[in-house]
Amino acid sequence: MARIIGGIGTSHVPTIAMAFDKGKQDDPDWKPLFRGYEPVAKWLAEKKPDVLFFCFNDHATTFFFDHYPTFALGVSGEYRIADEGLGTRNIPPLRGHVGLSRHIARSLVDDEFDLTIFQDLPLDHGLHSPLTMMWPKAPDWPGAVIPLVVNVIQQPLPTPRRCFRLGKSIRKAVESYPGDLKVAMVGTGGLSHQMIGERAGFNDENWDREFLGLIERDRERLAAMTIEDFMRRGGNEGAEVIMWLIMRGALDAQAKKLHQNYYLPMTTAMAVALFE
Amino acid sequence: MSYVFDLERSARGLRLNRFLHGLTSAGKRKLFLENPDEALKDLSPQEKDMVRRLDWKAMQDYGASFFCLEKLARTKGVSNPEMVAHFRGETLEQFLKTRRVPGAR
C-alpha cells in the first residue's frame, strides 16, 4: 500500500528560482531563504519519498483562458520545463509516476472530484521554483512528481473547503494504491502578497504568522473561510494559499509542524513549513 | 478587491492576453522584438498602443492578467518590482524604499 509520509507547504515565487539559478545561496540578501529550506531538503533526503504530490498553479503559461481548468491532474511519465518568457531553466525534465497518477485520477473521479486530466504538457515555476530548493536536480531527480494544477488566477476559484476535501480524497486515493510507495504532499503558494492595483505590494506578516499556526492546529477554521477572506487578509494573489489546504487535508489531523521559515524581502512573503 | 481577475475581465482582455501569453514561444518573442507591427497585427489600435508603450497600468485596467503581463515584462527585461511600482504610481526607487531587502530581486 502507498502511504503519505508527510507534507510541505512552500512559496513558489519565481525569484526563488532565479536566485537559485544565479547561485545566490550565500548572498546576504538571499541566505535567510536558502537556510530555511535546508531542514526540508534534509528531511526529504532521509525519508526518501518515491513521489512528491505537488498542489500548485500554472501562471497562464501552459494553460490559457480559452480553456482554464479548476483542477487538472497530470498523468504523464515525464514533464518538460515550460518557457515563461526567458527560455527554459537549465534543469532536467521532471519524472512522473504513471501508475500512481492514473490510479489517483480514477479514485478522485470515483469520489466525485471531476478532474481535468492532462499529459505531455510543460510545467512552470509554480512547481519547480520550490522543487529545486528541496530536491537535488543532479545527477537526476531522486524521484517522481505528480502535478495537480489548481486555478487560483481566474475567479471563480475553488472554495477553501473544496480544497481541504480534495486533500482528504487524495489521501484515500494514495492509500488505496497497491504498490509500496512513499508519498510526500507539497502545497505551494503565498504567503501574503498582492501584485496588482493600488494595493500592489501589500503584505501582512501578522496574518501570515496566524495562517502558519492555523494550518497546523486548526485546518477546519481555514477551510471555513471564504476566498474573499483570504484575499482581504493576505492580498488578492495571497489567496492562493488555499493550495496548502489540499496538502494539509491529506495529512493526519494531528500532524505536527517540524520546521518553519518566514522571509519577506520584497513583494511576497516567502515561507516554508514541514509537517509529519 | 477592485482588481479581481474574473470572467468579465477575462473576456474583455482575451485578445490582449492571447498575444501576451504567446510570448512564451521563443519564435513569437523574436518576431515581437524584431517586427512589432507584424507581431501586434491582430490587436486593436488601443491594445497596440498600450503594448508599445509598456503601459502596465493601462493594460491591467483594460483586462490583462498579471501573469500574462509577466510574459511581456520578461521579454522586455522588466522586473516584477518595476511593474508593481508602476501600478502603485511610484518609481522603482520609491517602491524599493518601502521594502525590507531592496537587493533581493
Is the pLDDT assigned to residue A198 strictly greater than 90?
no
Chain B: residues touching A (Cβ < 8 Å): 1-7, 10, 14, 17-18, 21, 23-26, 29, 60, 65-68, 70-75, 80-81, 83-84, 87-89, 95, 98-105
Using CA atoms, how far apart are residues A176 and A153, in angstroms rounded to an integer?
A: 32
Is the pLDDT assigned to residue A115 strictly greater than 60?
yes
- How does pLDDT run across B43-57, given as a tens digit for each residue? 999 999 999 999 999
Q: Which residue of A has its CA nearest to B16?
A: A65
> Of how many residues is chain A composed?
276
Catalytic residues of A: 125, 193
- How does pLDDT run across A202-214, given as a tens digit for each residue? 999 999 999 999 9
**Beta-carbon separation of B87 and A155 below 8 A:** no
Cell triple for A117 = 486530466
Return the pLDDT at B50.
98
B55 CA to chain A: closest CA distance, Å?
Answer: 13
At a CB cut-off of 8 Å and minimum separation 6, what does A265 contact? Answer: A29, A30, A33, B99, B100, B101, B104
Q: Check residue A83 and report its DSSP letter.
A: P
Q: Check residue B21 and report its DSSP letter.
A: H
Interface-testing mutation among A66, A86, A266, A270, with chain B (most B C-beta atoms within 10 A):
A266
Using CA atoms, how far apart are residues A50 and A246, in angstroms rounded to an integer?
A: 19
ipTM (interface predicted TM): 0.95
- The backbone torsions φ and ψ at residue A258, rounded to the nearest 5 degrees and listed phi first, read -90, -25
Cell triple for A258 = 517540524
Is the pLDDT assigned to residue B105 strictly greater than 90?
no
Return the pLDDT at A249.
98
What string of DSSP letters covers A173-211?
Answer: HHHT--S--EEEEEEE--SS---SSTTTT---HHHHHHH
